[in-house]
Amino acid sequence: MTAPPEQSDPRATLRAGLPDRYLTPDDIAEMFEVPLETVYQWRRKRTGPPGFRIGKYVRYDPADVRAYVTQRKTADQAAA
């Protein structure tokens, strides 16, 4: 039996397609295999995927995360 989307491996969902729910900072940290503090630093410096607040919680739209990854890949290929 498969796990519900909120319990699935975030890295696998990035490879297979992002879930139909907003992502948490923990999800982002797991997907990119970085410490959670790095995700918060990206947000403060505005260098990572764009997030937004829902009350006191930060969330990430999967479409914005996908666009961020595409942008980074394009920039890296252009620099090479």
List the chain domain ranges.
Answer: 9-75
**Residue 2 belongs to what H/E stretch?**
none
Q: What's this model's pTM, rounded to 2 decimal places?
A: 0.74
The DSSP line for 43-58 is: HHHT-SS-EEEETTEE
- CATH pick for 9-75 out of 1.10.3470, 1.10.1160, 1.10.10, 1.10.3210: 1.10.10
Tokens of 62: 């999967």
Q: Is 60 helix (H, G, I), strand (E, B) or coil?
A: strand
Q: What is the DSSP letter of 23?
A: B
- What are 9-60's pLDDT values in tens digits? 555 655 567 778 999 999 999 999 999 999 999 999 999 999 999 999 999 9
Asked if 24 and 63 count as a contact pair (C-beta separation under 8 A), the reply is: no
Averaged pLDDT, 3-13: 54
